[in-house]
Amino acid sequence: MVESYYYKDGQKQQQRWQFIKEISKDTKKIELPNHIFKAFNILEIDNTFLEMKFPNKSRVELSFEKTDEEIYFESKTSHEII
């Protein structure tokens, strides 16, 4: 589950979006859409902002293209695929 929040002056405010995707042992990557992290734009609805790769049971790789925004990541659970 990925949740995004509005931030003001570096402080987390209210929740903005929630994205839920099942991860199985065969999942190699998940692409998270632009609107989870940026303002909703219908012309960019299919664009990927963040790609999460799962090369093994204990590793998650994040890759994204950051422009002029501040992005905060917070992980609440460890990653382990059973």
Tally of residues, the chain: 82
Residue 12 lies in a domain: no
Please state, in angstroms and rounded to a whole number, the distance separating the CA atoms of residues 8 and 19.
Answer: 22
The answer to whether residue 1 is domain-embedded is no
Q: What is the pLDDT of residue 82?
A: 46
Query: What dihedral do alpha carbons 72, 74, 80, 82 form, nearest 10°?
Result: -90
Q: Kindly report, residue by residue over 6-32, the tens digit of the pLDDT.
A: 888 888 889 888 888 888 888 889 888
Number of domains the chain contains? 1
Beta pairing class for 48-56 and 29-33: antiparallel
Supply the range of the domain harboring residue 57: 21-82
pLDDT digits (tens, 9 = 90+) for 21-80: 888 888 889 888 888 877 788 888 888 888 888 887 777 787 876 666 666 666 666 555
- Is residue 6, in this structure, part of any structural domain at all? no
Q: What are the residues whose beta carbons fall under 8 Å from the beta carbon of 72, sequence distance 6 or more?
A: 7, 12
